[in-house]
Amino acid sequence: MSLKHAILGFLSFSPFTGYDLKKAFDQSVAHFWPANQSQIYRTLAELDTEGLVTKEVIAREERLDMKRYQITEGGRQALRQWLSTPHPPADTREPFLVQVYFGGHLTDAELLPVLQHNLQAAEEQLAGFTALYQSQAGRPNPLADQRAVFLALLTLEYGLTSLRAYRDWLAAAITRVQAHDYRPLDLTGPVNGHR
């Protein structure tokens, strides 16, 4: 279960409240592991009963107690263990591709808006990722562990390259649909960068 280990990952940097963890997720790993609030609170409680984290209860009169979680030595071990073991990929579900697959039922006038809608969404997301990447890459911090920073940034790089591939594929698809060019690609050509 990756959510547990992602939480342990954040707690390995510093103690967090559930609320702050939610923000940390949204600002860093949400594009490959979104987590919602109620899920985080439940999972923290589980990690606590498993002894992988401890909680420090901060009483606040008239309001719910605030709880700051810390990782335990067992938690660190579980994290390292999980990090160094290969895990099967979670399978992806893309409603948009289902639409394309059965797109034969639609006319061009019905299909193209759907394709264009997705293209625009991809362009926007790509612009956001690019800006984010550049702002992150533009402030090298000599105090930080360069390698750890690099690895974290690598996941954003993945988002960028896969989004670009998606956008390019989709833009080409739109052109082909518009031109009624239904020929398959020639994979033996120069597109195939392998070997």
Partner DNA sequence: CTGTCCATGTAAGGCGTTACATGATTGT
Partner DNA sequence: ACAATCATGTAACGCCTTACATGGACAG
Site for a second copy in 22-61 (CB under 8 A): 28-29, 31-34
Stretch that binds a second copy, among 40-48, 58-66, 67-75, 172-180 (CB under 8 A): 172-180
The dihedrals phi and psi of 170, each to the nearest 5 degrees, come to -70, -40
148 binds a second copy (CB under 8 A): yes
| Spatial CB neighbours of 10, under 8 Å, sequence gap ≥ 6 | 16, 21, 24, 25
Q: Which two tokens stand for residue 173?
A: 């698809």
Q: How far is the CB of 142 from DNA (least distance, A)?
A: 28
Using CB distances below 5 to 8 A depending on partner kind, what does residue 36 bind out of a second copy, DNA, none? DNA
Among 39, 125, 130, 136, binds DNA (CB under 7 A): 39
The alpha-helical segments, DSSP class H, found in the chain are 2-11, 18-28, 37-49, 73-83, 95-101, 108-137, 146-178
Using CB distances below 5 to 8 A depending on partner kind, what does residue 59 bind out of DNA, a second copy, none? none
Angstrom CA distances, 112 to 106, 165, 171, 172, stand at: 9, 19, 11, 12
Among 87, 93, 180, 183, binds DNA (CB under 7 A): 93
Q: Among 38, 47, 41, 39, which residue's Cα sits nearest to residue 17?
A: 41
187 binds DNA (CB under 7 A): no
Residues found near DNA in the complex (CB under 7 A): 1-3, 17-20, 23, 34-39, 41-42, 44-45, 62-68, 91, 93
